[in-house]
């Protein structure tokens, strides 16, 4: 795949909820084979950006391009999978009363004889993905409501991996996870990247971001304020871009704190 055309590009995305302007201008581009982190303070518009890409929200203005092709902003949530997008939302979209394998197959249930659910195949596929990802959550027939927050998060990630789409959006994938589980999610992200996918990861955890991302885009108050290569920036610069308390100038490792 050509690395000159972004797998996913947003141009001038705007979104208001009534009188609240959630996004005033978001530009963003992620390429196949990169891990691209989106960071920003609470309410900066990260989750809204993700939901506009997957069609849960419709943008008021701007353009979404997939491999350079414009995507209608009215495309609808179910449709986004057909456009090669898999997502894990911050407000996890798992159904508590359903078991692990049903949750992992949601939106894409295996059928036999056209309309019957293929329960055996669904369980086998779920178990296979969980084994591949080295996720230990017990029996795939366990209702998700019985899992811990961290286990649910890992199941949601496994669900997105199972979809096997070229663009993977993860909104705070490690928020409920301990150190070891976070490292495990980091390895899964690296594998997705090695498989040539564009991995877009919203995270508050700058340590995680600096360890696993290739590039970082910062959102502040509904605007994208800049994108940096991880090797060309510093935590201090990213924090100043997030808070807006210092000019978002190119990284200068010698400069230290400007005040």
Ligand X SMILES: Nc1ncnc2c1ncn2[C@@H]1O[C@H](COP(=O)(O)OP(=O)(O)OP(=O)(O)O)[C@@H](O)[C@H]1O
Q: Does 46 bind ligand X (CB under 6 A)?
A: yes
Beta strand pairing call for 167-171 and 198-202: parallel
Q: In terms of CB distance, is 32 or 85 closer to ligand X? A: 85
Q: Give the other-Cβ count within 10 Å of 111's Cβ.
A: 11
User: Per CB under 5 A, which region of 3-11, 43-51, 97-105, 212-220 contacts Mg ion?
Assistant: 43-51
Count interface residues toward Mg ion (CB under 5 A).
Answer: 3
Alpha-carbon span 8 to 59, nearest angstrom? 15
> Minimum CB separation from Mg ion for residue 219, in Å?
10
Choose the binding region for Mg ion from 41-49, 144-152, 174-182, 188-196 (rule: CB under 5 A). Answer: 41-49
Q: What angle in degrees, to the nearest 10, is found between the helix axes of 179-194 and 149-163?
A: 10
Tokens of 46: 């990260």
Q: Which stretch binds ligand X (CB under 6 A): 46-54, 61-69, 112-120, 235-243?
A: 46-54
- Which lies closer to ligand X via its Cβ, residue 57 or residue 212? 57
Residue among 33 and 45 whose Cβ is closer to ligand X: 45
Q: Where are the alpha helices (DSSP H) in 54-117?
A: 77-82, 100-105
Q: What is the CA 190 to chain-centroid distance, rounded?
A: 13
From the list ligand X, Mg ion, none, which binds 130 (C-beta under 5 to 8 Å, kind-based)? none
- Does position 97 bind ligand X by CB under 6 A? no
Binds ligand X by CB under 6 A, chosen from 45, 55, 59, 186: 45
CA 76/CA 86 separation, integer angstroms: 13
Question: Is the distance from CB of 224 to CB of 244 less than 8 angstroms?
Answer: no
The correct pick among 6, 47, 213, 220 for binding ligand X (CB under 6 A) is 47
Contact 184, 174 (CB under 8 A): no
Among 16, 21, 24, 90, binds Mg ion (CB under 5 A): 90
Which residues is 86 bridged to in the sheet?
Answer: 168
User: Does residue number 234 form part of the binding site for Mg ion (CB under 5 A)?
Assistant: no
Nearer to ligand X, 47 or 102 (CB): 47
Choose the stretch contacting ligand X; rule: CB under 6 A; options: 6-14, 37-45, 120-128, 205-213.
37-45
- Tell me which residue of 151, 244, 205 sits closest to 39, measured CA to CA: 205
Is 22 a binding residue for ligand X by CB under 6 A? The answer is: yes
Smallest separation (angstroms) from ligand X to the CB of 258: 26
Distances (CA, A) of 160 to 167, 172, 187, 234: 10, 14, 15, 30
Which residue, 48 or 67, has its beta carbon nearer to ligand X?
48
On the CB side of 250, CA atoms within 13 Å amount to 3
Binding site for ligand X (CB under 6 A): 17, 20, 22, 40, 42-48, 90
């Amino acid at each position: 795949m050509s690395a000159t055309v972004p797998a996913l590009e947003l141009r001038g995305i705007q979104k208001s909820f009534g009188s609240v302007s959630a996004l005033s201008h978001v530009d963003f581009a992620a390429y196949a084979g990169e891990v691209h982190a989106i960071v920003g303070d609470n309410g900066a518009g990260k989750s809204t950006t993700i939901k506009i890409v997957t069609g849960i929200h419709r943008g008021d203005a701007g353009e979404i391009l997939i491999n350079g092709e414009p995507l209608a902003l009215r495309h609808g949530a179910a449709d986004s999978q057909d456009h090669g997008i898999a997502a894990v939302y911050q407000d996890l979209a798992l159904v508590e009363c359903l078991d692990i394998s049903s949750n992992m197959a949601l939106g894409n249930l295996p059928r036999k004889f056209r309309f019957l659910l293929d329960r055996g195949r669904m369980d086998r596929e779920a178990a296979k993905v969980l084994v591949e990802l080295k996720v230990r959550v017990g029996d795939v027939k366990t209702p998700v409501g019985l899992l811990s927050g961290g286990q649910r998060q890992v199941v949601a990630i496994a669900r997105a991996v199972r979809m096997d789409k070229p663009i993977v959006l993860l909104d705070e994938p490690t928020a409920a996870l301990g150190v070891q589980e976070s490292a495990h999610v980091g390895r899964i992200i690296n594998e997705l990247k090695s498989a040539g996918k564009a991995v877009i990861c919203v995270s508050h955890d700058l340590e995680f971001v600096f360890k696993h991302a290739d590039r970082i885009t910062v959102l502040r108050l509904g605007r994208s304020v800049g994108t940096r290569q991880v090797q060309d920036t510093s935590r201090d610069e990213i924090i100043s871009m997030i808070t807006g308390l210092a000019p978002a100038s190119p990284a200068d490792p010698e400069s230290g704190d400007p005040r």
